[in-house]
Amino acid sequence: MGRFEGKIGLVLGVANDRSIAWAISELLFAEGAELAFSHLPGPSSERRVKQLLEPYNPKVVVPVDVQKDEDLERLFSRVHEEYGRLDFVVHSVAFAPPTELRKPYLEVNRAGWHLAMDISAYSLVAVSRHAAAIMPAGGAIVTLTYYGGEKVVPGYNLMGVCKAALEHSVRYLAWDLGRRNIRINAISAGPVRTLSSAGISGFDEMREHTARKSCLGRNVEAKELASTALFLLSDLSSGITGEVLHVDCGFSIVGL
Ligand code: NAP
């Protein structure tokens, strides 16, 4: 019997088969989880995600723009209506306008800053609030972050500031949710080639540098992020909340 048999989860952030959220979903399915999904509204996102999900035939697949409260309300009502509760959430969503992401942080405009922060950091707050309302017996939430939220990583720019806000949101949310037995943690992932990472200037150089400098002398694989997510979503990590766990082959502990 799978470790997630009888557990109901929600996954936000599957765009295609290279998405980190997809690697996590595949492992959750293999461990017996029942999963609901959201995807960005629009025919191309819908087609991509539905194709991917076809073999699993999930009951709930809802178009959601995390910037829209009404979309989030619809998503969580649908989950509640179908299952009556939620046990865990995978939040794997981020976006910044490409023009703003490529600029030095000094040059970022107000609209781009608000948009990136809204999608990449505030969405975790909104999602956690909705999720907690249908987690009567407690639950677990996992989000994805990157080292560029702690240190300056040239090229990561605006997204680094979003990740800093996301990581500290994890801590405050852990405090707000802890007495309800809801845990929330972040995985700080080493660089993995995905649709989103293609928008980061110098990404290949980041991967090459990380592989060279990390303790393990390589880059992390998506399946290693997935197995860590399953650990954080399961009772194996029952004493851990508010944590940012680096899954980066030991890159972040090296000073030079
Ligand atoms: P990805 O496959 O492109 O996933 C990002 C997801 O965010 C996509 O499903 C995208 O939908 C969704 N999204 C963007 N704007 C949205 C909105 N307004 N409403 C709802 N969904 C929205 O890339 P990924 O690399 O797996 O990224 C997942 C998470 O991991 C992100 O938080 C990212 O910052 C983080 N991360 C990635 C790496 C890496 O190296 N890849 C490293 C550390 C952390 P569409 O594609 O349909 O637009």
- The 10s digit of each residue's pLDDT in 42-88 is 999 999 999 999 999 999 999 999 999 999 999 999 999 999 999 99
CA–CA distances in Å: residue 206 to residues 146, 154, 210, 227, 252:
12, 9, 6, 23, 13
Active-site pick, 83, 105, 146, 147:
146
**Ligand 1 closest atom vs CA 159:** 34
For the Cβ of 11 lying below 6 angstroms from any atom of ligand 1, the answer is no
Q: Is 40 in the pocket of ligand 1 (CB under 6 A)?
A: yes
The better pLDDT of the pair 199, 147 is held by 147
Q: Is the pLDDT of residue 200 over 90?
A: no
- What are 162-182's pLDDT values in tens digits? 999 999 999 999 999 999 999
Nearest by Cα to 229 from 1, 6, 12 = 12
d(CA 191, ligand 1 centre) in Å: 13
Position in ligand 1 atom list of the atom nearest CA 146: 43
Specify the residue for token string 């950091």. 121
Residues 23, 228: Cα–Cα separation, whole Å: 11
Amino acid occupying residue 22: W
pLDDT at 1 over 90: no
DSSP state of 121: I
DSSP string, 177-236: HHTTTEEEEEEEEPP---TTGGGSTTHHHHHHHHHHHSTTSS---HHHHHHHHHHHHSGG
Distance CA 227, CA 165 (A): 25
Ligand 1 close to Cβ of residue 134 (< 6 A): no
Which protein residue's CA is at the shortest distance from atom 34 of ligand 1? 94
d(CA 150, CA 129): 25
Query: Mean pLDDT of all residues in the chain?
Result: 97
- 229: CA distance to ligand 1 center in Å? 16
- The rounded percent of the chain whose pLDDT value lies above 90 is 97
Q: Is 201 in the pocket of ligand 1 (CB under 6 A)?
A: no
pLDDT at 199: 84
Percentage of the chain with pLDDT > 70?
Answer: 100
Clarify whether 156 is annotated catalytic.
Answer: yes
pLDDT at 201: 84
Q: Please enumerate, as own/partner, the contacts of 164-169 that have beta carbons within 8 Å and a separation of 24 or more.
A: 165/117, 165/120, 165/121, 166/120, 166/121, 166/124, 167/244, 169/121, 169/124, 169/125
Q: Which amino acid is at 210?
A: T
pTM of the model: 0.98
Q: Which string of b and e fits 141-172 if b means at least 16 CB within 10 Å?
A: bbbbbbbbbbeebebbbbbbbbbebbbebbee
The β-bridge relationship of strands 34-39 and 8-12 is parallel
Ligand 1 pocket, residue 169 CB under 6 Å = no
